[in-house]
Chains A and B, each alone.
Chain A
C-alpha cells in the first residue's frame, strides 16, 4: 500500500476505511538467515537495509515488547551531524544524508523537519571551541555557522541574554539539523522491512543465545527456539543482559535519561535550542508541546522513570535560559534506559563468537543514528567487513585503549558521560 497526497485525500473523503495495518505481525518460523534481537530503531533499520541493500530478507526481528516501545519511542527526536572527532564525524554525516532522503526511500512521512539546531556558548573559550568544532564539521562536508550574540538575538528573542552565570556570547548553528517524528521512524522502517519479507515478531523475548564450538546457532525465546546463521544483538539499554547470554561482559553501564513535554502551545520555539552548560535542550513539536530534557540522572538504573532532583534541575535550567517557559504547564515526563559506553561513542562490531554481531553504546544520542547505524550494521552482517563510516566503532578499543573516541573530552570513564 503506497502513501501519497492523493491517497490521503481519497481516504479522507471516504471515511478512512481503506487503510490497512502497515506491517505484518508475524509468527516465528523455525529458522532464519539472520535474527535481529531488538525491535527498536536500530534493529528495524538494520533489517530494512539487510533486505534493501543486500537482498537478505529471510530475517526476523525479535522484540520482547511491542515495536518501537523502547528508546526509539521515548527520545526527544533531535537529528544532527555536528560531531567533532574522526569516526563520529563521518558516521553522523552519512546518517544525516540518509535522513534527508528517508521519506522518499521509505514512502513514509517521518516528519523530518530541518529547523536548525542552535548550540549556545557562554565564554571566549567556548567560542574558540565552537569555531574549532564548526571547522571540523565543515571539513566533513556538513554545515555549521557561527552566530554572534546579536545573530542569536534575532533568531531567539525570548532568551535571557544576561543571566549572571551563563551570559550568552553566541552560538553554533547547524541549519540541516532538526527533528523527526520518532514513532513514525520506527513504523516506516518496520513497514519497509516487512514489505520486503522480514518477519517482525513482537512479544518475543530472547532468553538464550545458542553457541556451539564458538559459532552461533540460534536463540531461545519466550516463543520457542529459533535457529539462525547469524544473530545481531541490538537492544540498547539491555545490551549487558543479552550479551551475557553469549558469555560476554560489555563496557556498558545502563543509565536513566528523562524527558518532558508541556501542553500544546502556539508556535513559539522555531529551532532546536541547546544550552549545554545548563544541561538543557528544547524544541517544539508539531502538535505544539514543548519537548525538553537534560542530563542523565547519573547513576546506573533500569527503571524507565527518573528521580525528582533531576526534574528540578531541568526546570531550573529552562527557567534560567528562557523565563517565558514558566508559564507553560508540564504534561508528562518519562525515562528511557541508555546504553552508556565509557568513551561516549557506540559499538558496531563482530564478537568473538562467529556469526554474532553487536550494536550498542549509543548513550543518549542514538536516534539521529537510526538510519546510519542500520545501514552500517546491515553491511557488517552481510559482508563480514566493517562499513567505512562506522569502521572506528570497534569493540576492542575498550580492551586495547587504541581508538577511543571521547567526543566530550572528559576521559573514558563510566561516570563521566
Chain B
C-alpha cells in the first residue's frame, strides 16, 4: 500500500502512522453529551469497503485524511486534514 501525501507525493506506507477512523476531525465539544464522547472514543462504523481514516506523515509532519477501500486496500483519495477542517467537511 502506498499513500499520496498532499505535500510530499506518493510514499511508502511505512512513512505514515495510522491514527484510525477520521472521527478525530469531529471532536465533540467539552460539554457534549456522554454519548457523543462514547462515539468519538470507542464506537466505530468499521465499514467493509470505503472508509476515511487519519494518517500522520512522519516525513513532513502533516495529518492526511485517506479515503480508501478496506476490502481491496486501494487508496482512492488523500487530502490534508487541515484543508478538510477549513472547508468544514
A300 CA to B18 CA, complexed, in Å: 9
With an 8 Å Cβ cutoff, the count of chain B residues facing the other chain is 24
- Name B21's contact: one of A253, A309, A398 (CB within 8 Å): A253
| In the complex, number of A-B residue pairs with CB atoms less than 8 Å apart | 69
Interface residues in A207-264 by Cβ distance below 8 A to B read 238, 240-241, 249-254
Query: What residues of chain A lie closer than 8 Å to B39, measured between beta carbons?
Result: 249
* Cβ-defined contact, B73 with A251, below 8 A: no
Interface string of B42-62 (1 = CB under 8 A from A): 111111100101000000000
User: A238 CB to closest chain B CB, in angstroms?
Assistant: 8
CB of A307 closer than 8 Å to a CB of B:
yes
A301 CA to B73 CA, complexed, in Å: 7
Q: What band does the interface of chain A fall in when counting residues whose beta carbon is under 8 Å from B? A: 20 to 34
CB of B11 closer than 8 Å to a CB of A:
no
* Cβ-defined contact, B38 with A254, below 8 A: no
- Name A309's contact: one of B13, B44, B45 (CB within 8 Å): B13
* Cβ-defined contact, A412 with B48, below 8 A: no
Closest chain B residue to A248 by CB distance?
A: B43
Interface residues in B31-46 by Cβ distance below 8 A to A read 38-39, 41-46
* Cβ-defined contact, A241 with B48, below 8 A: yes
* Cβ-defined contact, B70 with A342, below 8 A: no
* Cβ-defined contact, A303 with B42, below 8 A: no
* Cβ-defined contact, A303 with B12, below 8 A: no
CB of A414 closer than 8 Å to a CB of B:
yes
- Name A253's contact: one of B12, B44, B71 (CB within 8 Å): B44
Query: What residues of chain A lie closer than 8 Å to B53, measured between beta carbons?
Result: 299-300
Query: What residues of chain B lie closer than 8 Å to A307, measured between beta carbons?
Result: 1, 13, 73
A307 CA to B1 CA, complexed, in Å: 7
Known contacts A299-B18, A399-B38; decide if A249 and B72 are in contact (CB<8 Å).
no
User: B4 CB to closest chain A CB, in angstroms?
Assistant: 15
User: A5 CB to closest chain B CB, in angstroms?
Assistant: 46
A415 CA to B13 CA, complexed, in Å: 16
CB of A298 closer than 8 Å to a CB of B:
yes
CB of B14 closer than 8 Å to a CB of A:
yes
Query: What residues of chain B lie closer than 8 Å to A412, measured between beta carbons?
Result: 41-42
**Best-buried of A250, A300, A309 by chain B (most CB within 10 Å):** A300
Query: What residues of chain A lie closer than 8 Å to B43, measured between beta carbons?
Result: 249-251, 398
Interface string of A278-300 (1 = CB under 8 A from B): 00000000000000000000111
A250 CA to B51 CA, complexed, in Å: 16
User: A143 CB to closest chain B CB, in angstroms?
Assistant: 35
Query: What residues of chain A lie closer than 8 Å to B72, measured between beta carbons?
Result: 303
* Cβ-defined contact, B70 with A300, below 8 A: yes
* Cβ-defined contact, A240 with B46, below 8 A: yes
Closest chain B residue to A337 by CB distance?
A: B48
Query: What residues of chain B lie closer than 8 Å to A299, measured between beta carbons?
Result: 1, 18, 53
* Cβ-defined contact, B46 with A253, below 8 A: yes
Closest chain A residue to B34 by CB distance?
A: A399
CB of A3 closer than 8 Å to a CB of B:
no
Query: What residues of chain A lie closer than 8 Å to B19, measured between beta carbons?
Result: 415
A238 CA to B73 CA, complexed, in Å: 17
- Would you mind naming 25 contact pairs between A and B with Cβ atoms under 8 Å apart? A240-B44, A241-B48, A249-B45, A250-B44, A251-B43, A251-B44, A252-B46, A253-B20, A253-B46, A254-B70, A298-B18, A300-B21, A300-B70, A301-B70, A301-B73, A302-B48, A302-B70, A302-B71, A303-B71, A303-B72, A303-B73, A307-B1, A309-B14, A412-B41, A414-B42
Q: Which residues of B line the A interface, CB within 8 A?
A: 1, 12-14, 18-21, 38-39, 41-48, 51, 53, 70-73
Question: 12 new A-B pairs (CB below 8 Å) besides A254-B70, A300-B46?
Answer: A249-B39, A250-B43, A251-B43, A298-B18, A299-B1, A300-B70, A303-B71, A398-B38, A398-B42, A414-B21, A414-B44, A415-B20
Q: Give me the 4 closest cross-chain CB pairs, A-B, nearest first.
A: A240-B46, A251-B42, A398-B42, A302-B48
